Amino acid sequence: MRVAIDSNILVYGEGVNGIERQRVASRLVAGIPIEDIVVPVQALGEFFNVLEKKARYPRQKAHAATLELIDTFPVVDTTMEVMTKAVDLAKDHHIGIWDAVILSVASQAGCHILLSEDMHDGFSWGGVTVVNPFAELPNPLLAALLEPPAS
């Protein structure tokens, strides 16, 4: 099952905002085969920005962390088609444009899940369901995602 990862999950995996969130984010990413993970290019920009501005990483450290993600995970670009659909999504569902871009990229890339804390848990669009791994009540898709394959 293909999974897109939003910037907040990536940031938490870096250790920003506490050890517990880092554990959850790291456990999630480690539990998904790398070839099933998609990182929208928009999420990389947000990741770099949060590390530099909010976490106050030196620019070189934020740069190195971003390049490590690029080297580790498949990254999906924002195309004109993705942007057009994102603008419609933002208008129709009152979602911020950059969140809509990430959701649109996830749909275009054939993902079934977008791991994100920023959007409404359970919201589905374009074949993708937003799953907040930090929600009080765990989304059943999260358990299915991390369930070991039957042998």
* Nearest CA among 81, 85, 71, 5 for reference residue 38: 5
Predicted confidence at residue 148, as pLDDT, reads: 66
151: pLDDT strictly greater than 90: no
Counting residues of the chain whose pLDDT is more than 70, the rounded percentage is 97
Predicted confidence at residue 59, as pLDDT, reads: 97
CB 40 within 8 A of CB 4: yes
> How far is Cα 5 from Cα 8, in angstroms, rounded to an integer?
8
How would residue 146 be classed by pLDDT, with cut points 50, 70 and 90? confident
- Please state which of the ranges 26-35, 83-92, 105-114 shows the lowest mean pLDDT: 26-35
150: pLDDT strictly greater than 70: no
Please give the average per-residue pLDDT across 49-68, as a whole number: 97
In a domain, 23, yes or no: yes
Please give the average per-residue pLDDT across 81-104, as a whole number: 97
Enter the DSSP assignment of 150.
P
> How far is Cα 116 from Cα 12, in angstroms, rounded to an integer?
11
Which structural domain range is residue 80 located in? 3-144
Could you tell me the CATH number of the domain that includes residue 126?
3.40.50.1010
CB 3 within 8 A of CB 30: no
In a domain, 121, yes or no: yes
Number of domains in the chain: 1
In a domain, 151, yes or no: no
In a domain, 38, yes or no: yes
